[in-house]
Chains A and B, each alone.
Chain A
Amino acid sequence: MSDQNDSKGAEVIGRFRFMNQQRVNLDGFATPAPELGLIAFQSPHDPSPSITISEGMIVEMDGRHKDQFDAIDEFIALHGIDIDLAEKAMAIDSLEFARRLVNPSESRAKLVSVAAGMTPAKFADVLSRLTAAELVMAMTKMRARSTPSNQAHVTNRSDDPLLLAADAATAAAFGFREIETTVPVLGDAPSNAVAVSIGAAVGSPGVLVQCSVEEAAELAMGMRGLVSYAETVSLYGTEQIFIDGDDTPWSKAFLTSAYASRGIKMRVTSGGGAEALMGGAEKCSMFYLESRCVSLARAIGSQGVQNGGIDSAAVAGSVPGGVRSLMAENLMVMLRNLEACTGNDALMSESDVRRTSRTHPIFVAGSDFICSGFGSIQRYDNMFGPSQWNSEDIDDFLAMQRDWGVDGGLRTADEQEVARLRRRATEAVSAVYTWLGLGDFNTEWAEQAIDAAGSKDISESDMMVPLNASNTIMDTGVTMLDVIAALAENGFDLEADRCLDMLKARVTGDYLQTSAIFDEQMNVLSLVTDPNQYSGPGTGYKPGPERQAEIDTIRQQRSAADLRSEQHGFKSSNLRVAEMATVSHDPRDVVIGVSPATGRDIWRTLSGMLVTEAIEELMAGLEEEGCVGRIVRINNSIDLGMIGLNAARMSGSGISIGLQAKGTALIHRRDLAPLANLELYSVAPTITPELYRLMGINAGRHAKGMTPEPMRNPYSDDAIEARYHTRVVSLVAMERQCSSTDEPELLEITS
Chain B
Amino acid sequence: MTKGYSGADADNISVDAIRRGEVTLEDVRIHPGTLEQQAQVAEDNGNPQLASNFRRAAELTDLPDEEIMKLYEALRPQRSTAEELRSIASELRSRDAHLNAELFNQAADVYQRRGLLKK
Taken together as a complex, chains A and B put the C-alpha atoms of A247 and B76 apart, in Å, by 5
Nearest-CB distance from A237 to chain B (Å)? 16
Which parts of A321-358 form the interface with B (CB within 8 Å)?
337-338
Instruction: Give B residues with C-beta under 8 Å from A.
Output: 2-5, 10-11, 13, 15-16, 18-19, 21, 23-25, 28-31, 34-35, 37-38, 41-42, 45-54, 56-61, 63, 65, 68-69, 71-73, 75-77, 100, 103-104, 106-107, 110-111, 114, 116
On whether the beta carbons of B69 and A243 are closer than 8 Å, the reply is no
Q: A506 — which chain B residues lie within 8 A by C-beta?
A: 28-30
18 CB-based A-B contacts, threshold 8 Å: A216-B72, A220-B65, A225-B28, A257-B57, A260-B56, A261-B57, A261-B61, A301-B53, A479-B25, A481-B23, A504-B13, A507-B34, A508-B34, A509-B30, A509-B37, A512-B38, A513-B50, A514-B42
List of A residues within 8 angstroms of B24 by Cβ: 481
The answer to whether A261 and B28 touch (CB under 8 A), given A254-B72, A488-B18, is no
Flag if B56 contacts A301 (CB, 8 Å). yes
A-side contacts of B13, CB under 8 Å: 500, 503-504
With an 8 A cutoff between CB atoms, is A362 at the interface? no
Contact B46–A116 (Cβ < 8 Å): yes
Residues of A within 8 A of B76 (CB): 246-248, 251
Cβ-neighbour of B28 out of A82, A337, A488, A503 (below 8 A)? A503
In the complex, what residues of A have CB within 8 A of residue B19's CB?
485, 488-489
Residues of chain A contacted by B57 (CB below 8 angstroms): 257-261
User: What is the minimal beta-carbon distance from A222 to any residue of chain B, in angstroms?
Assistant: 10
| B92 CB → nearest A CB, Å | 11
* Cβ contact within 8 Å between A79 and B28: no
Q: Which residue of chain A has the shortest Cβ distance to B51 in the bound complex?
A: A301
Complex CA–CA separation, A485 to B18 (angstroms)? 6
Known A220-B65, A251-B76: A500·B53 in contact at CB below 8 Å: no
Chain B residues with Cβ below 8 Å from A116 are 46
Question: How many Å from the CB of A419 to the closest CB on chain B?
Answer: 27
Residues of B within 8 A of A263 (CB): 29-30, 34
Which residues of B lie under 8 Å from residue A260 when comparing CB positions?
Answer: 30, 35, 53-54, 56-57
Contact between A258 and B72 (Cβ–Cβ < 8 Å)? yes
Closest residue to B115 on the A side, CB-wise?
A243
Please, which residue of chain B has its CB at the minimum distance from the CB of A246? B76
Nearest Cβ distance between residue B43 and chain A, in whole angstroms? 11
Please give, as numbers and ranges, the residues of chain B lying within 8 Å of A225 by CB-CB distance. Answer: 25, 28
**A93: Cβ under 8 A from any B Cβ:** no
A616 at the interface (CB under 8 A from B): no
A262 within 8 A of partner (CB): yes
Q: How far is the CA of A508 from the CA of B35 in the complex (A)?
A: 9
**Complex CA distance for A65 and B16, rounded to whole angstroms:** 61
- CA distance in complex: A497, B17 (Å): 12
Shortest CB-to-CB span from A702 to chain B, Å, is: 80
- Report the minimum CB–CB distance from A209 to chain B (whole Å): 16
Contact for B100 among A257, A262, A528, CB less than 8 A = A257
Q: Can you name the residue of chain B whose Cβ is closest to the Cβ of A512?
A: B38
Contacts of B21 in A (CB 8 A): 485
Q: State whether A219 touches B77 (Cβ < 8 A).
A: no
A302 to B77, CA, bound (A): 20
**A527 at interface, CB cutoff 8 A:** yes
The answer to whether A303 touches B30, judged by C-beta atoms less than 8 angstroms apart, is no
A250 touches B72 (CB 8 A): no
What's the least CB distance linking A226 to chain B, in Å? 11
| Complex alpha-carbon distance, A219 and B65, angstroms | 9
Of all chain B residues, the one with the shortest Cβ separation from A338 is: B47
Map CB proximity to B onto A288-323 as digits: 1 under 8 Å, 0 otherwise.
000000000011111100000000000000000000
- The answer to whether B18 touches A500 (Cβ under 8 A) is yes
A220-B69, A262-B29, A302-B50 known, 14 other contacts, Cβ within 8 Å: A74-B114, A79-B52, A215-B72, A219-B72, A248-B107, A251-B75, A253-B56, A261-B63, A488-B15, A493-B15, A497-B15, A507-B34, A513-B38, A514-B42
On whether the beta carbons of A248 and B111 are closer than 8 Å, the reply is yes
Pairs of residues from A and B, 7 with the lowest C-beta to C-beta distance, nearest first:
A301-B53, A260-B57, A263-B30, A261-B60, A251-B75, A507-B10, A257-B56
Q: A481-B18, A485-B19, A509-B34 are in contact. Are A216 and B45 (CB under 8 A)?
A: no
Are B38 and A337 interface neighbours, CB within 8 A?
no
Chain B residues with CB under 8 A of A489: 19
B14 to chain A, nearest CB (A): 8
CA–CA, A528 and B41, complex, Å: 8
Report whether B29 and A507 are in contact in the complex, using a CB–CB cutoff of 8 Å: yes
Question: Hey, which chain B residues are within 8 Å of A609, CB to CB?
Answer: none
* Residue among B53, B69, B72 with max Cβ neighbours from chain A (10 Å): B53
Q: Decide: A78 and B15 in contact? CB cutoff 8 A.
A: no
Asked if B46 and A113 make an inter-chain contact with CB atoms under 8 angstroms apart, the answer reads yes
* A256 CB within 8 Å of chain B: yes
Question: Is the beta-carbon distance between A247 and B77 smaller than 8 angstroms?
Answer: yes
Asked if A112 is at the interface of the complex by the 8 Å CB criterion, the answer is yes
- Determine if A504 and B35 form an interchain contact, defined as CB atoms under 8 angstroms apart: no
B4 CB to closest chain A CB, in angstroms? 5
Which chain B residues lie closer than 8 Å to A98 at the CB level?
none
- Beta-carbon nearest neighbor of A259 in chain B: B57
Alpha-carbon distance A224/B57, docked complex (angstroms): 17
Q: How far is the CA of A251 from the CA of B72 in the complex (A)?
A: 6
- Check: A239 CB closer than 8 A to any chain B CB: yes
CB of B18 within 8 A of CB of A70, answer no
Is residue A58 contacting chain B, with contact meaning CB distance below 8 A?
no
Q: B27 — nearest CB in chain A belongs to which residue?
A: A507
Cross-chain contact A71 with B18 (CB below 8 angstroms)? no
Residue numbers in B under 8 Å from A74 (CB-CB): 110, 114
Partner of B50, one of A254, A484, A514: A514
Chain B residue nearest in CB terms to A304: B50
Q: Given that A254-B100, A255-B72, A303-B50 are contacting pairs, would A509 and B10 also be in contact in the complex, using a CB cutoff of 8 Å? A: no
Q: Which of B18, B52, B63, B111 contacts A484 (CB 8 A)?
A: B18
Residues of B within 8 A of A298 (CB): 47, 49
B58 → A minimal CB distance (Å): 7
Q: Are B107 and A337 in contact (CB under 8 A)?
A: no
> Quick one: closest B residue to A507, CB to CB?
B10
* Residues of the A chain whose Cβ atoms lie less than 8 Å from the Cβ of B38: 509-510, 512-513
Q: How far is the CB of B3 from chain A (nearest CB, A)?
A: 8
Q: A583 near B: Cβ within 8 Å?
A: no
Which of B49, B61, B75 contacts A248 (CB under 8 A)?
Answer: B75
CA of A254 to CA of B58 in the docked complex: distance in angstroms? 12
CB distance from B102 to the nearest CB of A (A): 10
CB pair B116 A243 closer than 8 Å: yes
- The residues of B that contact A510 with a CB separation of less than 8 Å are 38
Contacts A251-B75, A258-B57, A508-B34 hold; do A78 and B106 have CB atoms under 8 A apart?
Answer: yes
Contact of A112 with B46 in the complex, beta carbons under 8 Å:
yes
Query: A506-B28, A508-B2 in contact; A80/B54 too (CB < 8 A)?
Result: no
Which residues of chain A are near B47, meaning CB under 8 Å? Answer: 298, 303, 337-338, 514
Q: Are B31 and A507 in contact (CB under 8 A)?
A: yes
Q: CA of A259 to CA of B68 in the docked complex: distance in angstroms?
A: 10
Please name all residues of chain A whose beta carbon is closer than 8 Å to the beta carbon of B34 when the two chains form the complex.
Answer: 263, 507-509
